[in-house]
Copies of this chain bind each other. A is one copy, B any other.
C-alpha cells in the first residue's frame, strides 16, 4: 500500500518496477483525494513462481524504497505468509466474540488469535469452547492507579504475545489517552450507533428516546477521543415504534456482529488506509 502526493508517472513507475522484478499484479485499486491531492494505491502482487527468499524480498523492498523516496511516497508491504496476531478484548457480552471465533474457525479471518482479554471473568467459557487462552485483567482499584495497572498488564500481554491488532468486541471500558495513543493505528472498536449520532454511553436508549426509525453500528479505529476515530464500516437496520430498547439491543447485536466482522476482515487483508480522520477502504 502506498500513499503520496498526486503526481504524474507514479502508477507507471510502480507497475514498471514490479514488472521488472517478475511480479504479477493480481489486484490494484487506487484513489486520489482531490481535497488534499493525495494519491493512494493498494497493489496485490505475487512472485510465487520466481525464486523467493529473504534476499529477494530485501532487494525488492530496497528498490521500492528508492522509488518511494523519488515520489515522496509512504509505503508498506505486507506478506501473506506473515499472519497477523489478534487480541480480542471483551467484557460480558458474548455475541461479537462468538461471531469472530466462528468466522476465524471457518477460515474467513486470516489471523491468529492467541488471546482473549477481559475485565470480567464471564466469557472464559466461550474462550475454552474454541481453545483460546483467556486472561482476566480486572481493575483492582476503582481509580486512576487501578486503571493504569490494568492497562500496564494488558500492554504486557500484548507485547508478550506479539499482538498486531486489538479488537474491542464490546469491551465496555474507556482507555486512557496514553493507551489509545499507543494503539491508535491498530485498535478496532465496535460502537452500537451510526456515529456521529449517539456517541458515548447507552446509544440504544438514546435512539429510543429520540424516536429514530433506523439504528446502526459503526466499526472505527479507537483514538483518544471517544467514538471519534476514523470510521471503517457502518450499517443500519430499520426499527419501528414497536421496538423497545430490548428489541433494539437484540436487532443491534446482528448489526454489530456484521459490521465488526467486515471491518476486521478488511483490516486483516490490508484494505484499510487511514488518511487524517477518515479511512480509504479498498473493498473486495
Binary B-proximity of A261-284 (CB < 8 A = 1, otherwise 0): 000000000000001011111011
Q: Cβ of A142 < 8 Å from any Cβ of B?
A: no
Which residues on B sit within 8 Å (CB–CB) of A233?
Answer: 213
Does A252 make an interface contact (CB < 8 A)?
no
Q: How far is the CA of A74 from the CA of B160 in the complex (A)?
A: 55
In the assembly, what is the distance between CA of A15 and CA of B3, in Å? Answer: 18
A sample of 18 cross-chain residue pairs with beta-carbon separation below 8 angstroms, ordered by A number, consists of A9-B19, A11-B15, A12-B16, A12-B19, A28-B28, A31-B241, A106-B253, A129-B129, A194-B236, A197-B197, A210-B278, A211-B277, A211-B279, A213-B233, A213-B281, A241-B275, A241-B279, A254-B258
Identify whether the interface residues of A are mostly helix, strand, loop, or mixed. Answer: mixed
Q: In the assembly, how many copies of this chain are there?
A: 4
The interface size bin for chain A is: 35 or more
11 new A-B contacts, CB < 8 A, other than A11-B19, A94-B102, A194-B212, are: A12-B15, A12-B18, A15-B15, A16-B16, A29-B29, A33-B241, A98-B98, A106-B253, A196-B198, A196-B212, A241-B280
Is the Cβ of A284 less than 8 Å from the Cβ of B12?
no
Q: Are B258 and A231 in contact (CB under 8 A)?
A: no
Residues of B within 8 A of A241 (CB): 31, 33, 275, 278-281
How far is it, in angstroms, between the C-alpha of A18 and the C-alpha of B27 when the chains are bound? 20
